[in-house]
A and B are shown apart, each in its own frame.
Chain A
Amino acid sequence: MVSRPWQRLSPAGRVLLPLGVVAGGLGVVFLGGVSSGILPNLWSWVYEALSDNLPLLRFVVAATAVLLFTVPTAFVIIYLEMKVIALQNLRLGPNRQGPWGVLASTLHGFKVLAKEDFTPTGADVPVFTLAPVVVYLASVMSFLVIPFAPGLFAQDMNLALLYFFAVGGLGVVGLMMAGWSSFNKYSLLGALRAAAQIISYEIPLTLSVVGVVMLAGTLSLNTIVHQQSGSFLDWYVFRQPLAAVIFFIAATAEGNRTPFDLTEADSEIVAGFATEYSGMRFGFFFFAEYVNVFILSALTVTLFLGGWNAPLDLTPVWQALGAHPGAIDLGGLGVGLLIALLVVPPILTVLLALPFWMLFTRLRFWQALGIGFLCFNALVGAAVLIWAAFSFDAVMGLLWFLGKTYVFVVIFVWMRATLPRVRIDQLMGFAWKWLLPASLANLFVTALAILVIAQVRG
């Protein structure tokens, strides 16, 4: 193996050389800045620019955080799927990679990155390349409106629910792009099935939710969750049971999950629209599906099961234990803290990686950076725990929300393990002949009930 000059440095050299380079660069910048008069005003200039556009900055940070959150979520759900399906199949699933196999999905992610990435002959290359991106974005953009905890959401829009369904429909475009641009009849069939299925099930999905909207009086998800606070009897699932069931079934169909997974039915049309995809492009479809599962479960929980509300009001319990709910509000971040959030992680990663790189000379630099990143994550975890002690409300809300969401994720996975697939005509028949009338009936009954109760109350 050819060794590069920087790999032949001694440990002292490995510290001094980067420092020297950085110092030299900084020195040049400093001198240039001072000599041209920019540097003394730089900090205040940046600070003012950012604090003038605080909402935009906040949005950028939120969007980035959400994007970064989707990947570990997908990993966790992939692991859950492998493990839960295996346990129900009377086998063990991944149990060798890490304790109980928890690293399995991470390793699958690396594997997917390392696979050969080819484009089939005759495929429409720009469309072929963009299709996974569109599908993934459609799933991820819906993350922006989900309220994870009181105060912990990316964006609180008045039309959050409408935005959600609008963006979710973009996924169809991506699937059609994928199916059409791979020069393959199987993919075409899969894409057509996907389009038909998703479009048919969007109607019962949205109609079943209108009842909830009428009860809550708003399309904003945050407000809907706030209105379900109190005890679990306030949750909308008790007032709209039929809507909950219809929503859940339609959500299963929207997410291309068994029993409605004909688009990727791998015993009929091998992987459907994704037949010609390999490597990370397929990884995008894969991730998008699991992120979709999370989003649909999250939406079920938000709309019908109270979001981040605990089943009973436990604030007296926490106060008796000595925790202070609501002391730190994440929404009111200062700009300085934001800049620190951008700058501190890389610096901390490098700083934590340096001792490992110096001590263990067999480590390559990227391996050391990985270890540094893991240590940084451990530090962040500790910091989050400390934050939790001070802002109990948000953390408890997050935990309840995630717990309830993962219960539904497990139910999705459970259905996948148990149920066979329906046929396309049975699927369409079910949507148009059963779910649509049922959701319309639910809508009318809800409207009638609201009117009647309003009259009765005066």
Chain B
Amino acid sequence: MSFVPGLGILKGMALTFRNMLRLKPTVQYPEEVYPVAPRHRGRLLLLYDEAGALKCETCFQCAQACPIECIDMGGVDTRDRYHIHWGPAEQYGERREESALRRSGRPVPDATATPFEPIDTAALDVILADEAYDPRHMLAILGRTQEAYGYLPVAALKHISHATGAWYAEVYGTATFYDQLRMAPAGAHVLAICLCPSCTFRGAGRVLAAAEAAASTALGGSSPEGAVRLEATACHGASPAAVFVTLDGAVQAEPTAKGITDLVTRLRAGHAPVGRA
């Protein structure tokens, strides 16, 4: 090639001419997709398994191990009560308090996060055996457990999870979904107020406010000494004249704000129901 000047150039041009006619390795993106290796970690996704459940356990190990602290995890409880975040606390003001709370050692108000005390599982075993350890009967199992123990202890949920094979997260999810299943021991008396539209027109809101003030608690909670528990009840299609209020199932005849306030005060003072008033 050194004898003929320009032969190298011509060889190069012949090579590019041949390449012009070859099949191009271009992948036309939206129509064809280049196969991605299974181990490719380029897409940050939360993955689901075959059963459709989320694989992430929110164990925070990845956030803790990440060298540049770029992983920020956040979670919210199923009833929208608690927000939990892990991440560089100095970035977000609101998360600061949450992280501080978590790291402070003070108890975070979450029933399933606090250590649970063991219970006597004899009654529970009977129930489970009766339902044949079938996780598809979860609602029945939980209902009967609540009848037996008065509420659903966390230890019971764990036992049910072990026995039936359902994931604890599922059991917990079912337990917190239904209003009639409660995770905390109930108060002695249950004051239920109907909040359907017709009762609301008749002043159920005022009744509720009075009851909350008198019991020093919010709807769904118990009064501090555990005497009265306020709940909302479903519409029973009751008398169109007044708000539908029940005490331990008994319909109250005087469902006004003043009447309910008196009732609750008496209940708290005496810890004894007055009966049908």
Contact = CB atoms under 8 A, between A and B. Distances in A.
A binds B: yes
Contact of B19 (A88, A92, A415, A419): A88
A84 interface: yes
Contacts of B28: 92, 95
A419 B9 contact: yes
A90 to B, nearest CB: 6
A419 B9 CA distance: 7
A419 B19 CA distance: 15
B13 A90 contact: no
Contacts of A8: none
Contacts of A91: 24, 26
B24 A418 contact: no
Nearest to B14: A418
B26 A417 contact: no
B13 to A, nearest CB: 5
A82 B13 CA distance: 17
Interface string A407-429: 00000001101110000000000
Contacts of A92: 24, 26, 28
Given A88-B19, A90-B19, A415 B13 contact: yes
Q: Which of B9, B20, B24 is most buried by chain A, counting CB atoms within 10 A of its CB? A: B20
Nearest to B15: A418
B20 A88 contact: yes
A417 B15 CA distance: 11
B16 A414 contact: yes
Contact of A90 (B9, B12, B17, B24): B24
A88 B17 CA distance: 7
Interface residues of B, number: 13
Interface string B1-20: 00000000100110111011
B22 interface: yes
Interface residues of A, number: 13
A418 B16 CA distance: 7
A206 to B, nearest CB: 23
A82 to B, nearest CB: 13
A251 to B, nearest CB: 16
Contacts of B26: 91-92
A87 interface: yes
A91 B24 CA distance: 6
Interface in B173-213: none
A164 B272 CA distance: 116
B24 A87 contact: yes
B13 A414 contact: yes
Contact of B20 (A87, A415, A419): A87
B12 to A, nearest CB: 5
B20 A418 contact: no
Contacts of B15: 418
A419 B12 contact: yes
A88 B18 CA distance: 8
A415 B20 CA distance: 13
A87 B19 CA distance: 7
A69 B13 CA distance: 31
Closest 8 pairs between A and B when the two form their complex, measured CB to CB: A88-B16, A87-B20, A418-B16, A92-B26, A88-B20, A418-B12, A418-B13, A88-B19
19 contacts: A87-B19, A87-B20, A87-B24, A88-B16, A88-B19, A88-B20, A90-B19, A90-B24, A90-B25, A91-B24, A92-B24, A92-B26, A414-B16, A418-B9, A418-B12, A418-B13, A418-B15, A418-B16, A419-B12
